[in-house]
Amino acid sequence: MLTGCTGDDGYRQYSGPTMGTYYQVTADCPIDVGPHIEAELQRVNAEMSTYLRDSALSRFNRAPVDSWVDVPLAVVEVVNAAIELSRMSGGAFDVTVGPLVNLWGFGPDESDPDGAAGVPGDQAIAAARARVGYDALETRMEPPSLRKSRDLYVDLSAIAKGHGVDRVAGRLMAAGCQNLLVDVGGEVRSSGLGPTGGPWRIGVEVPDPTTTGGVQRVILLGDAALATSGDYRNFIEAADHRYSHTIDPRTGYPVEHALASVTVLHDSAMWADGYATLLTVLGPEAGWDFAVQRDLAVLFLVRGATGFEERYTPQLEAALVE
């Protein structure tokens, strides 16, 4: 972790690895908040990681069917949000998609030879899909616990990073930070003003796997969160075909459409994170209809004949830098 690095503007910067990715925090705080950041991210990992065998979520995934398993309250709250996203999307987002993610080689379980080496066969996909179904997952708040009515594998990777961003931001605000920007793996949340005295300026990356660092659009961020999902960084190549890491639970296969990336502006990084994945699965047409019907602030970047075509809802337009 880089901690205590203070610029001429008085803002401290912190960074390090977390949740299989990175975190970067820029904040104007009365104290050194490095330990607060580390503690909060470690707690989220211990609760929701599928890569840590002893996390609360991993223990639930190994638990017997039809038994209530005690988990931290935060796990129930995030699972409840994920179930709501699953329901409103008709299963395009499914919190139990983990068996398919693992099968295709994008998760912690590398035991399947097909998923690790190439394209899984139809029988393997059918078997994994039989273990997917958010309707077989139950939660309760008192005591906080989860139960499954059949064999399931819950995967919160499409929403946990955003939740972690919200947790860190909340912890820093409680510590007296007036101005801050929290970034965990590209999911961000800000409060107050940036070092230049104006709104935070967040670049939306050009969704091209052959380049890095290119900015397609700049979005002004006040007290809000931003999340981007796309198929241009994490993928596998097999049989001269590129397969996205985003799996459609309804088919068992990675998404195949022209939507290159989705950026969602929301009050909550957790919800922005979840919506971005949901819209990526739905694609450029159904995803657009979903966003418009729910008044979401969304930027779509769609592959066209001459490059990336932009499409954004009225709720996002005011935040774009022309």
Sketch the domain layout of the chain as residue ranges.
2-43+159-317, 64-148
Label the pairing between strands 21-28 and 215-221: unpaired
User: Under a CB-based contact definition with an 8 Å cutoff, are residues 95 and 75 in contact?
Assistant: no
Confidence of residue 3 (pLDDT cuts 50, 70, 90): very low
pLDDT at 81: 98
- Using alpha carbons, list the distances in angstroms from residue 255 to 3, 235, 246, 274: 39, 11, 6, 16
pLDDT at 232: 58
pLDDT tens, residue by residue, 15-42 = 999 988 999 999 999 999 999 999 999 9
- pLDDT digit string (tens) for 212-270? 768 889 999 999 999 999 865 555 655 666 667 889 999 999 988 889 999 999 999 99
The answer to whether domain 2-43+159-317 has CATH 3.10.520.10 is yes
pLDDT of residue 206: 82
pLDDT grade, residue 272 (50/70/90)? very high
CATH ID of 64-148, from 1.10.3980.10, 3.40.50.720, 1.20.120.80, 2.60.40.1930: 1.10.3980.10
pLDDT value for 110: 47
The answer to whether 301 and 261 are in contact (CB under 8 A) is yes
295 backbone φψ class: left, alpha, beta (φ>0; ψ -120 to 50): left
Secondary structure letter of residue 261 according to DSSP:
E
pLDDT for the residue numbered 306 = 82
Is residue 96 over pLDDT 60?
Answer: yes
Output the six-digit token pair for 269.
């990084």
Q: How far apart are CA 77 and CA 207, in angstroms?
A: 32
Tell whether the model's pLDDT for residue 106 goes beyond 90.
no
In DSSP terms, 308 is beta-bridged to 303
Average pLDDT over residues 204-209: 80
Q: Is 154 buried (19+), middle (13-18) or exposed (0-12) by CB count in 10 A? A: buried
* Residue 315 clears pLDDT 90, i.e. is over it: yes
